[in-house]
Structure 1
């Protein structure tokens, strides 16, 4: 069906106020990286995080070498130790950042920056880019945000733009009806506009760029939202006031917490984000300083800075590595920082929310596109003029997907090493002269010690976050009290252990797809809690079951001890259809709430509604204006 754009609606858009948005050159840069005001505390935080990461990684790798080394070091052992060092460095860096966050939060929540007076916070556009989304959900969220701004007396400082890239005409028709409803609801206190593009060039990045080049000069700032975003009036006003008070700020990122889902998978993710998230974000903010990152939504951006620095070029080569930039947010933060603007996060700012995929399969579908976008950064990380911290952000994005195949390669190398040892006759008398035989050595005590070190590095951030939650009366109460918190952390740890091997194979496959040149395409996300049939889960995870059986049988063939070491991974893979299906059941999620597991403070009113009416809270429905 041909795309039908309602010209009457497009004619009702505001008068043009264009900003030039020149395409950026990644191969050359004549400017200088301007200082943005990082203090001594940021320098010390960076020294701690990077220093601690190196020390932890070096210590862990040394212990691994002690476990696997024999008299003659083989190439396979070197390869195994290399994979271990890379994967261990990834968790060591996260652990060091979490420790930093813990230290900062023990001293009290970070203070907000200086804020301009409300009357001086300028004009801000709330941008809602949509692509084949449910209009009812999107416009209901915009209505809540707009009404909150009106109650705070700040509506005149904000305009709403719904920027549609929707390709399906029946969804676009519903968008137009919902827009008419919202326009009537908000008039005359607040302006709301709707624009549907005929050509969705460069996807979301192009959608935002189209707004900037057509109307950007009329607004000092823009708050970019996602279709599942929700923000309180206080959060939006605070971002605008902080931006107005800081003339060097280019992007100020909020910390979006997860909400509004009832499947066990989503509830676990929401709980982890609420309890562990502030710890991690505070650590990141402490060492990022004003050389921070941008997550693509729930952030305020100085419109002039964005226009000046963020015209994204086409990348050379064929898709998936070539073409337009998919994960544009990290790149936009790097380019704004390159142009001399500060980018930073406000982890203490509350009232910023988003939603999470309802089940493991939906997460994997979203990850397919995100993996391609992050791996595409391999062509961008060496761009000229980038701040070194911006390069670290890009590398972290790349590693977030390479970590899974590296873990898989580590397992395969370890099994190969064990198999070779199982079927190779030891050489007790090497060619070099020796008075005594050379006995092959394996020290199980060293292996257990290494396991304890790895376990500690991996789970210390959870323990630190639990400690902070237990001493925070409001958070402790909102999570179901001390026992509720402890039960939830234990349950999250157990379920994460079941999900991690499955995610390892899922992400390894999508990384392989990207390297094989398969483009992800662009599809709308599933944002409903509808359960997936078990048969569908069994079909999707069939190859995971086969992989688990192969891992288990090979480990059993090597030795009983090897089987016990690998049993948690093999068992999780064999159970993957059941785990994926059960964690996607909304009824099970509601039962967990009644068991005081995975509660978060923000959902208390909604949870009470669920209890009163015996079901999941209904969404706010659009009603025809009188």
Structure 2
């Protein structure tokens, strides 16, 4: 394979061309826009308006030209400089075996759906004959004992079904430091030196066996590569909102992924999942220290992936984006509310990069631009809001404003105004037309139900995107304000099942709704002539609770917004199946009750904790006593987890519960279990109170 120096001149020329195209388009747009601004407008206000317009026009231009790059790369049979093009497919005899860990960090996720996906990956890998070189790890940060006990039991069940040579490990951290990046770091400190590569998953990731083996093969063929990132396709969408996202990803993502890869080449970004990492340099160079700045810029790094790619590049390793690798899937949030909640975390993490841009030295320009792009993806929303406000203000300076068009200041009857609207429309909707053209030329339209159906679905998705754009703009503006104010943001597992209720949607969008009503009232009061031009922005916001609720529903029969997976199944998705969102233990018990009542669990559930004495033993005995007398509702998640982690406490609680008095809240649990088996199965006997257990209780008391 060619050396790293060969692709850098190519990347430089491509990036220079992108800068030239965006700059030329932006200068032309600003010139046309300046011709439409009323002459009566204040000079300072006009200058600010033109500056904001220039930034936003350049922003949408970057997306358009990236899609154009991708279109031409695909039309010429793929990028010849990509790793996938330069490394051929291996024969079975040439298949490379390298010690690899597939790690799935989880935190309070729906267990059966998440681990069902992991099981599908394992089963698909059985066909390749490389299962002995790949180990799987579930890295849990879950705090709720009902969740992590189910995780543990499900992993145990999957482990019994594995083929010979396959390994699945479960580890739950006692101390949750630094979110997902801290979870991965803890794994690497303990077991990282066992492996040459690490494939990182999200809780909703699905990777086919071909994808995993191809990633390993590319890593083996390219020693200079530190990270190889796939472009995940959205799959398993069930709600209307998720299917909108899935269709957009499958229809347009092919262009954007190819364009990004062609521009970035060996200085791509890492998205935090569905990627393979060379473990040794990652451990050496990609450790993340806590930020030491003010407010938002203090504490753990939330969006770690872009920074880790930049640190890998600074160490001299390459980061590649390979859209040609098939079999990489993830899921979309099922509702608009869940998508915006996730954006709140991402917004805070991306804005932290402002501090890192200023403090991290020797970062390559391409990675700095990636960080800046991530920051601007959220700052663009308040800038759009500023632009709309300034446009309305400037329009009022004209005594006879002519306001047809998308911008209040633009007179589309004039030549510059009409041309500006035309160019803006091309930049906004051009990628969608290019995507349809690409699928038609590649004879892929049948995968979307035919050209007519593909075109109709594209129109439907475009209208939905236009309706959601004002909602996203305002919510993202709130997110930016909250992040800069350093408001605390929770970091828990995501909802993956949909099913939002109308009341929940109304409460979630209450502030947004109140803001839209106030804005429309002020416009009608002070500038009624602008009301017709404010309605296209504010009307979707006024209907946002109803729109969000409707999108959270599952569509009716038929393939609504069809994607290729609807017509041709993929093995790993079929293996994952429509997993249930919850799972109860036998007898109608929850997981903590099952752990306490089962004599097998109380006797054999041994962890690494050594026998306790003194103060810790007395504290545990107090927890056991409270749980036995008040029931599990009398303890916090942390206290219940402490009992489950210590065999002596669990055995003592087991004996106390089985010998509970009629007044004990556990008596109802025992009755419920007895009724559920209806006499067909014997009720498990209590664990005998062994002499060592009596001794532990006496020491503790």
Query: Is this a same-fold pair by TM over 0.5?
Result: yes
1:417 Cα offset (Å): 2.0
Q: Residues 554, 620 of structure 1: CA spacing in aligned structure 2 closer, same or farther, 3 A cutoff? A: closer
1:78 Cα offset (Å): 1.1
Which digits, 9 at most, give the CA deviation of each residue in 1:139-167, with x for residues without a partner? 21111111111111110120001111111
1:179 pairs, out of 147, 155, 159, with 155
Counterpart check, 1:575 vs 2:538: no
Distance 2:410 2:465 in 1: 34
Counterpart check, 1:418 vs 2:395: yes
1:119 Cα offset (Å): 4.4
Q: CA RMSD in A?
A: 2.6
1:408 — aligned with what? 385
1:568 Cα offset (Å): 1.7
For 1:232-311, what aligned pairs fall within 5 Å after superposition?
232-311=208-287
Q: Which ranges of structure 1 fall in alignment gaps of 5 or more residues?
A: 1-33, 425-439, 608-615
- Does the 8 Å CA contact 1:485/1:597 hold for their aligned counterparts? no
SS of equivalent residue, structure 2 residue 296: coil
2:476 — aligned with what? 507
Q: Residues 344, 590 of structure 1: CA spacing in aligned structure 2 closer, same or farther, 3 A cutoff? A: farther
For 1:374-389, what aligned pairs fall within 5 Å after superposition?
374-382=350-358, 383-389=360-366
1:90 Cα offset (Å): 0.7
- Does the 8 Å CA contact 2:111/2:582 hold for their aligned counterparts? no
1:516 Cα offset (Å): 0.9
SS of equivalent residue, structure 1 residue 194: strand
Counterpart check, 1:114 vs 2:84: no
1:335 Cα offset (Å): 0.2
By relative contact order (CA 8 Å, sep 6+), the higher-ranking structure is 1
2:439 pairs, out of 469, 476, 481, with 469
Distance 1:542 1:444 in 2: 39
SS of equivalent residue, structure 2 residue 177: coil
Distance 2:11 2:372 in 1: 20
SS of equivalent residue, structure 1 residue 300: strand
Q: Which ranges of structure 2 fall in alignment gaps of 5 or more residues?
A: 402-408, 571-576, 586-701
Counterpart check, 1:53 vs 2:8: no
Which digits, 9 at most, give the CA deviation of each residue in 1:5-37, with x for residues without a partner? xxxxxxxxxxxxxxxxxxxxxxxxxxxxx9664
1:42 pairs, out of 3, 7, 11, with 11
Which digits, 9 at most, give the CA deviation of each residue in 1:339-358, with x for residues without a partner? 00000111111100000111
Q: Residues 476, 441 of structure 1: CA spacing in aligned structure 2 closer, same or farther, 3 A cutoff? A: closer
For 1:604-619, what aligned pairs fall within 5 Å after superposition?
604=567, 617=578, 619=580
2:371 — aligned with what? 394
2:591 — aligned with what? none
**TM-score under structure 1 length normalisation:** 0.85
SS of equivalent residue, structure 1 residue 192: strand
1:318 Cα offset (Å): 4.7
Distance 2:96 2:105 in 1: 27
Counterpart check, 1:136 vs 2:137: no
2:321 pairs, out of 339, 342, 345, with 345
**TM-score under structure 2 length normalisation:** 0.76
Q: Residues 623, 534 of structure 1: CA spacing in aligned structure 2 closer, same or farther, 3 A cutoff? A: closer
Counterpart check, 1:599 vs 2:562: yes
- Does the 8 Å CA contact 1:271/1:600 hold for their aligned counterparts? yes
1:369 pairs, out of 341, 345, 355, with 345
SS of equivalent residue, structure 1 residue 262: coil
Larger radius of gyration: 2
- Does the 8 Å CA contact 2:38/2:394 hold for their aligned counterparts? no
